[in-house]
Amino acid sequence: MKLKKGIPVIDQADKLGFWGGKFGGNFVPETLKKPIEDLEKQFNKLKSNKKFIKERDKYFKNWIGTPTRFIKLNNLTRHVGGAQIWSKVVSDANGGAHKIYNATVHCLLAKRSGKKVIIGDTGAGYAGKMLSMAAKKFGLKCKIFMGAKDIYRQQPNVKAMKKNGADVIPVYSGSQTLVDAVSECMRYWVANCDTTAMCVGSTVGPAIFVRICGWSTSQISRELKVQLMNEFGDIPKKIKLYNCVGGGSSSFGFWNEFMDYDKKQVEFIGVEAGGPAKSKRHAAPLTYGSKIGILHGAAQYVNQNNDGQIEETESISAGLDYPGISPLHCFLKDTKRARYTAASDEEALKAYQTVTKYENLRPSLEPSHAFSVAIKEAKRLSKDTIVIINSCGDAYKDRGILEKKLGKKYVKSN
Amino acid sequence: MLNPISLAFKKTKKEMRPALITYTVAGDSSKKQSLEILKAISNYADILEVGVPHNTPVADGGQIQTSAYRAIKNGIKMNDIFEIVSDFKKSKNSKPVIFMGYYNMIFQYGENNFIKQCKKSGVNGLIVVDLPWPENKVFSKKCKKNSINFIQLLSPTTSNKRLKSITKDSHDMIYYISMLSTTGGKLKESPKKILANYKKIKYINPKKNCVIGFGITEKTISNFKNTDGLVVGSQICKEITRSLSSRQNPVINVSKLVSKLRKKIS
């Protein structure tokens, strides 16, 4: 299996949508073949259409607010005492997370194809919140599918979705988290694909959704490349890009533009959710060597039992609480372009405390996983190494959990 | 020699009626009970679809999901499901059996192993909901080689070009999904339109046995008497759920329902 140079990773899938011949694909009911084919045709045409890209960039700039900041975390660097620690503050984006890029692109596509309704899944609530914002902006009706457990633990985002006029549909089946929300959303699409557009909230699902999402979030690394040039005059010799990985949309977008660099110069580190310490129900299929299986239309490493039933996961961060992982990351793992590891709930909480203690930055529980590993590794790295963490979400949505775990005082003081 | 599925259609055509195909989930509500249900309903049904329960089904509505979750919760495993079929096949009134499920269950078992077990236990056909054409080309050929019918699905969104290619690559039986819906949806398309689409498929190749599923219930079934076969699933699963919650015997109730369905098309 080989990663090709000079071709965007999203375009390296074969005719049937497989990366490396075995990840991804289109394991979908016959009914969805046509709408998926239509979307493929539309996207393949538009992704190199100058007018469309201009339109996308206009909304990215004026509405989402690009570029998001690239800042040095001086206090944290001093405290850790190793590599320079920087952050790409993607949570600056309108709505507070990277999910806005994919949501905006899907709404632009839906609008062009004449669809009136757009549906989407959500775990942490960010994908749902952003889709509801974009739908409102572009005059589309919006339905968001969300696990009942997630609705309970991510209330601020639920309120935001409702405020934007979206229907939030609770999903009570299975573990009542993201995996069930995606299933239910796909089922709804099966029944309504003639009038409705679907937005999959991450780089997961049938191949076309993986591609659209990866294409959209790549905005992050496009900006970062420019910012690195402005800051250092060149791409530094030793960079390490840390990112949390649930479905894998923010990490893929954070890395994409650096894909062709040697990994000795630009290393990618993906941090999965290990769940509570000692838990067997982790959400880290790449770290803990899960087998390949089919989930939500794509072949990927996924937590499952011997029979092929998908296993429930457990993580403090709803956004990472997913048993599978993007086919893109399976591909990057097997081609050894990226390295994957996991952080536990406790480690993520500790990292959140450390970051908020030293910096004026509040990463949500998802990027706190990435901070945890970055802080640990940065200690042992030389001063000329540039460690960059994608702070892809804001902790506002986690208020309830943080208050419960760390105490009211702590949350208020930040 | 005709395979048992084609034989079943030959028989119902002689009787001038569509084949009645039932769908029940293996292991719902227990291994033993689902076997009893199969034995009881095979007095009235012509072909039995046995659902292989999966916990992330992307095309099933509430009724079948409930049945599947119930079966999984009660511990049903792939090998139990093969056992159910082979026990059923030993019974005196057995009928052709078709597995309906999701590809991951086959993938984890290993395609070749899965086919081998199907042959051994007496499974005659396979419907794999999320393995569409052309992705299913290799697997369906393997099935054919082993005298197992791989049943292709067609839907209202299938383009004419696809209809032709899929029909060409299909075996003796094809399954037409009546409308845009998950299983268990209310029939939202007029029978007239569904039958027009059905005729379109039959026109491509009249020899293929084409069955219609989705939205077929006691109320709607008599609209489709002039077809090769009809599949009823969600209503049966619902009846099992209803029986369990009112502490009645699902075997008796489901058997009554299937007998009624049969009368409506005889």
Q: Give the pLDDT score at A173.
A: 87
Last residue of a domain, one of A185, A214, A243: A214
Same domain, A152 and A281: no
Q: Is there a catalytic annotation at residue B111?
A: no
Same domain, A113 and A129: yes
How many CB contacts within 8 angstroms connect chain A with chain B?
A: 111
Q: Which domain holds residue B169?
A: 4-265
Q: Give the pLDDT score at A407.
A: 87
Partner residue facing A35 (CB), from B107, B129, B157:
B157
Q: Give the pLDDT score at A410.
A: 64
Are A307 and B105 in contact (CB < 8 Å)?
Answer: yes
Are A16 and B135 in contact (CB < 8 Å)?
Answer: yes
Same domain, A230 and A277: yes
Contacts of residue A293 in chain B, CB cutoff 8 Å? 104, 107-108
The CATH number that applies at residue A379 is: 3.40.50.1100
Q: Give the pLDDT score at A278.
A: 83
Same domain, A258 and A308: yes
Are B54 and A33 in contact (CB < 8 Å)?
Answer: no
Q: What is the pLDDT of residues B27-75, one digit of tens each?
A: 999 999 999 999 999 999 999 999 999 999 999 999 999 999 999 999 9
Q: Considering its fold, how many domains does chain B have in total?
A: 1
Q: Which domain holds residue A197?
A: 27-60+99-214
**Ranges of chain A whose pLDDT falls below 50:** 413-414
Residue A19 lies in a domain: no
Nearest residue of B to residue A32, measured between CA atoms? B157
Q: Considering its fold, how many domains does chain A have in total?
A: 2
Same domain, A249 and A335: yes
Q: Give the pLDDT score at A413.
A: 47
Residue A9 lies in a domain: no
Q: Give the pLDDT score at A333.
A: 98
Residue A5 lies in a domain: no
Q: Is there a catalytic annotation at residue B130?
A: no
Average pLDDT score over residue span B160-188: 96
Residue A22 lies in a domain: no
Smallest CA–CA separation between B97 and chain A, in Å? 21
Same domain, A208 and A341: no
Residue A294 lies in a domain: yes
Give the whole-angstrom CA distance, residue B185 versus residue A64. Answer: 39
